[in-house]
Amino acid sequence: MKRSIYIIILQFVFSFYCVAQQRPQYTQYVFNNFLLNPAISGIENYADVKIGYRKQWAGIENAPQTSFVTAHWNLGSDYLWKNALSLPDKGDDPMSRNYMQNYTSSPAHHGMGVTAVYDELGPLSRLDANLTYAYHLKLNNTFNLSVGVAAGVSRVALDVNALTFEDQTRIDPSISNGIVSQLKPDLGLGVWLYSGRLFAGASVQQILPQKLSFTGDRNYNTGKDVAHFFVTAGYKLFVDDEISVTPSIMVKQVSPVPASIDVNLKMAIKDRFWIGGSYRKDDSFSALAGINISKLLNLTYAYDFTTSGLNQVSNGSHEIVLGIQLNNVYEVFSTTRMW
């Protein structure tokens, strides 16, 4: 391979964070919106833990891989009864049509959580670790509005050992002056409106403007963090007492690239098994499935069928998430109030 090709690759690496999405892509955010919106902190009556892994564009060497752990819980020692955070009675289905008819919003309360996301893209890696806090306000008998903040650090690193040239005797200055890693402060905000059937939210990540460069060479140090904006909404419909469907939409904006639009649909049976589909404009179709194994464990999986030009070389994307519901004394099987 010609040396000039490596220079082009280097220019892409060093400027990538200036012109493209910097946070990982997710398909199962519909299962864990907390990844994108800190206002969801403490929305459940138990500690909601998620452990996930995503393999983007399988079949392409050095394609993105993402691992994450999230956890959030409501603050306070008292359980909230007959509201968005608890069952009407032990063992009943909290998302059944009968319960929704008598749904009442939760009293005002606080929530907090933690997120840790590790993302790899070729020689680049990124670790985002945040603490989150949310306040849930009771608007009326059926609606809550929560406001949340996420604060933490981001570590972005370049593995210079993964960059090799045909002529190792002539090392490019951008490599010889390379900055191996850098630590930056991180801040995100979000709002979340929810009732028994409806949810809507908006959030922004990477609010703080930060320069991002891996070299002292001025020709390659134009990288910077850019804000990521998310807006989503969905509504739960009942086919009968045991089957429900939930359509939802997500719009994501990362300047200067065009907005990304996802349309999703989930069908659940007794909130024990569910299947779903998703379409991401100009990118992919996705198939999703999940099972609530017990009051402690649930497992979900998604496969993305790539529709962009990458489908010539990619075998699609895989994403799997394990959910753990700690201190779930009321034996809730469904893992999320909304989705």
> Is residue 27 situated within a structural domain?
yes
Per-residue pLDDT, 10: 45
Number of H helices, E strands in the chain: 3, 15
> Is residue 109 situated within a structural domain?
yes
When divided into structural domains, the chain yields a total of 1
pTM of the model: 0.82
CATH of the domain at 267: 2.40.160.40
Strands (E), 31-143: 47-55, 65-74, 109-121, 124-138
Give the residues across from 204 on adjacent strands.
189, 229
- Residue 27 and residue 304 in contact, taking contact as beta carbons nearer than 8 Å: yes
| pLDDT tens-digit map of 184-204 | 899 999 999 998 889 999 999
| pLDDT tens-digit map of 84-135 | 444 445 555 555 665 566 678 888 999 999 999 998 887 788 899 999 999 9
Give the residues across from 234 on adjacent strands.
199, 248
High-pLDDT (> 90) share of the chain, %: 36
> Is residue 244 situated within a structural domain?
yes
> Is residue 122 situated within a structural domain?
yes
> Is residue 162 situated within a structural domain?
yes
Domain containing 44 equals 3-326
- Residue 190 and residue 147 in contact, taking contact as beta carbons nearer than 8 Å: yes
